[in-house]
Chain A
Amino acid sequence: MRRRGRTGWVGAAFVAPFAVLFAATYLVPVGYAIQFSLFRTRSSGLGLAPPTTHFAWFANYVDALQDPGYRDSLGRVVLILLGFIPALIALPVLMALLLDATRGRLRSFFRTVYFLPYGVPGVIGSLVWAYLYTPGISPVVAALGHAGVHVNFLDSSTVLWSIVNVVTWEFAGYNMLIIYAALLAIPADVIEAARVDGASERQIAMRVKLPLVRPAIVLVGVFTAIGGFQIFAEPLVLRTIAPAITANYTPNLSAYTEAFANNNTNLAAAEAVLLAVLAFVLSFGLMRATRQGAFAR
């Protein structure tokens, strides 16, 4: 159905360099990880004799899913994603709408300030927030204390939201920019027509602008969902000040711990594969469910 057959293999030649590297860095590693995840290395008795490796079908996947610690980490992803809905979708939408309704220098000032944290690596953002969370050092905790609000950002009931906050700080501006860019693409006459019809600014925002930028919001939602599965640097860094962040706090951290601390590399491979599949299924499902974006037919 597409254009000229006569270019034939030329297209393939243009795609080939990327395709080769894509295979080498996506397909082959995933394939190798899948293969790796089907084996397991076992000792016996006290562990004094050398261990043996054997094919184990899906035993590592069963082990991972039966491990309460890993299940908890998946549960935390659900909580994180729930936290992301207001923080990384609703808030950026609001920010973009407010920005779109602002004029002059202030507009570019706010846009710049909101977007800046995107340029800060997660590790560094987390190091900075770690100082802002630590009682005795943080000016924020001190100020809240003076105001009579005594909050511990790092205990087991709050630390998840402290992580969500760091991620929000990093990415809310980025998400806002996607939506804001879409708002700018709305033709001026559409807005003007609504205004002529007597719609209030709020009505225009809700009834005209929002529906028109829905694809952008879906895109933001998909990237945010993928991001929810990715969280790694933030808990790794905050762990040094918050023991409530356990060694398998998020699925990524869990795979890292199994591989690097517990030497259960096969199990870690299974966890990485599970993570990739879950993230893919969720984001793909999201795209299909909304029937929009790149994946719509």
Chain B
Amino acid sequence: MSAELTATVERPPRRVERARQAPRQYPQGLIRTTILFLLAAYFALPMYWLAVSSTKSTSSLFGSGGLWFSHPQFWQNLASLFRYDDRSYLQWALNSILYAGVGAIGATLLAVMAGYGLAKHDFPGRNLVFSLILAGVLVPVTALALPLYLLASKIGIVDTYWSVLVPGLVSPFGVYLARVYVEQALPDDLLDAARIDGAGEWVIFVRIVLPVVKPAVVTIFLFQFVSIWNNFFLPLIMLSSQHLFPITLGLQSWSTRATREPVLYSLVVAGSLVSVVPLVLAVILLQRFWQSGLTAGSVK
């Protein structure tokens, strides 16, 4: 396609959150705050339910109101959670960390390299490659899962770590973000100066490019980490061996077995809480990276 698809940036993202003050007098203040609190209640309710319910036995889970504690036994649930089924849960947690951690690190590195290559270098086929990557952004990940399964099945890597790990290494949106960020944040002069000094291209990338685009690196890593951690369809169809499951698939499989082993109802709830805690912490502690990355992604 001949259309030149580029992302241009009118201005760098600005963090002016603290700088700008809303006026002190604000007539609709009460209504506004009420709405904000109601929304907060909506978003917090399921989390609150999860936290309360994770302390319950299966019979309390079914037999007591959902909004308050009843015979709390959180530590007992936690102990059973990690012991049940030969420590399956621990295995799943490690698998999730492996899939999401390795996948996100690899995807970030590849995306920043590609974004830099696309932003600062010209080479034959560059526009075509970028167009394809943009097209990749627009294809739903779940629509790809079945084709990936068919292919993986053909080459015999279904039900292996690779079948879930390798697709996680690819983040077209990461490339897009990286390219936009490199274009806006990395002056050509800096690269030229380095080249004049005789630095090799890889050295330039590691010493100059990576430090400059660090915020984008963190953002891409976070996006990909969450996206792999939360992915369910791909592991569902790729994996049949329990010891390869990530946490989402493991908890879902427990949930489907709870009929037979009712203690699993409470373990699934406790396991859900435990699995959510790390990501929730990441969301809270790293908010400014989300925000800055999102700004970069939406500039026109």
Contact = CB atoms under 8 A, between A and B. Distances in A.
Q: Are A and B associated in one complex?
A: yes
Interface of A: 2-5, 7-15, 17-19, 21-22, 24-30, 32-33, 36, 95, 98-103, 106, 108-125, 127-129, 131-132, 137-140, 142, 169, 172-173, 177-178, 180-182, 184-188, 191, 195, 201-202, 214-216, 219-220, 222, 226-227, 229-230, 232-233, 237, 240, 252, 255-256, 259-260, 265, 268-269, 272-273, 275-276, 279-280, 283-284, 292-297
Nearest to A32: B151
A121 B229 contact: yes
A111 B36 CA distance: 10
A160 to B, nearest CB: 18
Contact of B143 (A27, A110, A279): A279
Interface of B: 3-5, 7, 11, 13-17, 19-23, 26-28, 32-33, 35-36, 39-40, 42-47, 49-50, 53, 61-62, 65-67, 110-111, 113-114, 116-118, 120-126, 129, 132-151, 154, 166-167, 169-170, 172, 175-176, 180, 188, 201, 205, 226, 229-230, 232-233, 237, 247-249, 251-252, 255-256, 268-269, 272, 275-276, 279-280, 282-284, 287, 290-292, 294-295, 297-300
7 nearest CB pairs, A to B: A11-B121, A14-B117, A33-B147, A119-B279, A29-B147, A215-B300, A139-B66
A247 B32 CA distance: 42
Given A14-B201, A220-B298, A256-B237, 12 more contacts: A11-B117, A30-B144, A95-B39, A110-B36, A114-B39, A124-B275, A178-B298, A184-B16, A219-B298, A233-B248, A268-B146, A297-B4
B36 A33 contact: no
Given A116-B43, A188-B16, A219-B297, A276 B144 contact: yes
Contacts of B279: 119-120
A280 B294 contact: no
A180 B291 contact: yes
A116 B283 contact: yes
B248 A124 contact: yes
A279 B36 contact: no
B143 A276 contact: yes
Contact of B113 (A9, A15, A132, A283): A15
30 contacts: A3-B122, A7-B123, A8-B121, A10-B123, A11-B117, A14-B113, A15-B123, A17-B114, A21-B110, A25-B144, A108-B287, A117-B47, A119-B276, A127-B272, A128-B46, A129-B46, A131-B49, A132-B46, A138-B66, A142-B65, A178-B297, A181-B298, A201-B28, A227-B140, A240-B256, A272-B147, A279-B138, A279-B140, A284-B138, A293-B298
